[in-house]
Amino acid sequence: MPDIVILGAGVMGSAMTLPAAHKGARVTLVGTHLDVDIVRSVAETGVHPGLGIRLPSNVTALQWTDFGAAVANSPDLLIIGVSAAGVRWAIDRIVEDLRTPLPILIITKGVAPGNGSIEILPSVIAREVEARAGLSLPVSAVGGPCIAGELAAMRDTSVVIAGSDPALLARILGYLEAPFYHRRLSTDLLGVEICAAFKNFYAIAVGSVLGMLEREGKAGNGAVMNNLAASAFCQALTEMTILVETLGGDPKTATGLAGAGDLYVTCLAGRNGRLGRLLGLGHAYSAAKRTYMAADTIEGAQLALEIGPTLNGMMTRGTLPADRLPLAAAIVSAICNDAPLRLEFDAFARP
């Protein structure tokens, strides 16, 4: 049976223990420095407090200080399930404790600015580990609509596992075989990761329509604003396709599970949509975050803050087509400059 280590005991990393452990693999769940209480609960009771379920009996929970011991015998797969903000911390742990190469599967969703462009997290991890530790690690990624609570409850979930080596991907698919976890293979790692990051970003705009409706109220005949929400969703999908294609990925990825599927499920609920609602009500981003969501990690907003200047620079230089990305520009302006988030109907879906 394979030996699988998961770094990050939050809800998503811990939910991954369900498919990982389904066929009897030895699964070690290692928390971060922020997961001490979660790991203690799992170790003592078997129950994950955030997911409200008992993890499989073949899952061992360890504190982050035991990560070196967990990877000492070269496990078959290391899954990184930390938040986007924790990726640098995870790289530090890998550099400190890993002695031999092993495949990595990252479920963290995000991108980073790099040399005036956008770099996907698998590339960041592989480059930094090789530079600092001399280890060449194949890094693959998971994309697609996957709500942690549903996966933990073993509800049917479809995902895309992407990487550059089809043979390795097939092996990873085998490690995660479970009747409720439906895996598809893709070699478009860049496209899957662009979609995985930007669906959080664009869900803010779709969520803003709820705030606009609250602010303006229903029409006299009871009409709401589903037309506008649908237009914002379609514009988001159009722009994700443009971003994927312009940055070198397969545009069809944006209309599949990794793009349309993940964007849809993210727009149904979550922190990005809640922030969007506040912006739609007329709150400036900084005030909304400080007053209503101070303790929340809002991945779409973090993305805008981190790569907003890079996106603006690329659009100014013509590396990205500014006239075809009006929604991206509006979101960046709202998050980075506290400007009102405006959905400009006439600018949508430019050919």
The enclosing domain of 239 has a CATH number of 1.10.1040.10
pLDDT digits (tens, 9 = 90+) for 34-88: 999 999 999 999 999 999 999 999 999 999 999 999 999 999 999 999 998 899 9
| Residues 306, 214 share a domain | yes
Is the pLDDT assigned to residue 351 strictly greater than 70?
Answer: no
The predicted structure's pLDDT at residue 350: 60
Shared domain for 215 and 162, answered yes or no, is no
Q: Is residue 247 part of a domain?
A: yes
Q: Among 187, 222, 247, where does a domain finish?
A: 187
Three-class DSSP labels, 45-73 = HCEECCCCEECCCCEEEECHHHHHHHHCC
The proportion of the chain whose per-residue pLDDT surpasses 70, expressed as a percent, equals 99
Buried b (16+ CB within 10 A) or exposed e, 175-191: bbebeebebbebebbbb
The residues pairing with 79 across neighbouring beta strands, listed in sequence order, are 6, 105
Query: CA–CA separation, 89 vs 226, rounded Å?
Result: 41
**Both 64 and 143 in a single domain?**
yes
Listed residues 187, 220, 240: the one ending a domain? 187
Residue 192, domain member (yes or no): no
Pair 159, 71 in one domain: yes
Query: Which of 168, 187, 206 is the endpoint of a domain?
Result: 187
Same domain, 183 and 252: no
| Same domain assignment for residues 274 and 304 | yes
Q: What is the pLDDT of residue 346?
A: 84
Domain count within the chain: 2
User: What domain range is 76 assigned to?
Assistant: 3-187
Q: What is the pLDDT of residue 348?
A: 81
Same domain, 212 and 292: yes
Report the chain's mean pLDDT, rounded to a whole number: 95
Question: What average pLDDT does this structure show over 137-163?
Answer: 97
Q: What is the pLDDT of residue 30?
A: 98
Residues 152 and 252 both lie in one domain: no
Residue 97 confidence (pLDDT) above 70:
yes
pLDDT digits (tens, 9 = 90+) for 248-280: 999 999 999 999 999 999 999 899 999 999 999
Reported confidence tier of residue 105, pLDDT bands at 50, 70, 90: very high
pTM of the complete model = 0.93
Structure token pair of residue 284: 């400036």
349 falls in which pLDDT band (50, 70, 90)?
low
DSSP letter for 282, please: T
Question: Strand, coil or helix: what is 150?
Answer: helix
Quick one: pLDDT band at residue 139, thresholds 50, 70, 90? very high
